[in-house]
Amino acid sequence: MLSLDCVEELKDLAEDLPRFELALNQLAQALGLSLSQLEADHISVRCHQNTTAERWKKGFSQIGALFSENQINGRAICLFELRQPLKLGNWQLSVIELPWPGNKLYRHEGWEHVEIVLRGDVNSLGARALALLSDEGLAQPNISIKSSSPRGEHERLPNPTLAVTDGKITIKFHPWSLKEIVASEQSD
């Protein structure tokens, strides 16, 4: 079975994974966040060019199955389920989010964020996520927080997001997994 580092179109992402894992652990530590206690849903990449997105799509198609392609906030986003999960710390992540480039330019092309599922009342997601983070971590000048509610055309589940970033990578919190969101699109 092919893995990330065996696919030519994904070699840059295979090489970038250790950088992302280190940066994720550093951000979590700065925030006082214990990642091992959390349910990680998926990992996401960012790129600046459509040709890079197409190359990555071709690569992910070799090691997984495309289970959703949708327009979210004006850009295409592909979701893949890997046949062999990606190891990131204690997590085994089988879902990859591949958004096409949008208006925002990211500092780095490669792995950009991980999404955590915090099950419970959607209206209290932000408060529940912030309660996991230390006041000292949130007070650091390089840390920023953003709340949003991305929505696909046919989504039926409310999907608020709380994103915490240090400008390099991001940890996002949602009340649902991507598979649950995609399933809601197909229910009548």
The pLDDT, as a whole number, for residue 154 is: 54
Q: What is the pTM of this model?
A: 0.91
CATH code, domain with 47: 3.10.180.10
Q: How far apart are CA 36 and CA 22, in angstroms?
A: 15
User: In this model, does residue 113 exceed pLDDT 90?
Assistant: yes
Query: 107 lies in which domain range?
Result: 4-186
Which letter does DSSP use for residue 67 in this model? E
Give the mean model confidence (pLDDT) for residues 98-106: 83
Angle 182-184-188 from CA coordinates, rounded to 5°: 130
User: In this model, does residue 152 exceed pLDDT 60?
Assistant: no
Query: Max Cα separation, the chain?
Result: 46
What are the tens digits of pLDDT across the range 5-51? 899 999 999 999 999 999 999 999 999 999 988 999 999 999 999 99
Do β-strands 91-99 and 39-46 pair in parallel, antiparallel, or remain unpaired?
Answer: parallel
Number of domains in the chain: 1
The pLDDT, as a whole number, for residue 3 is: 82
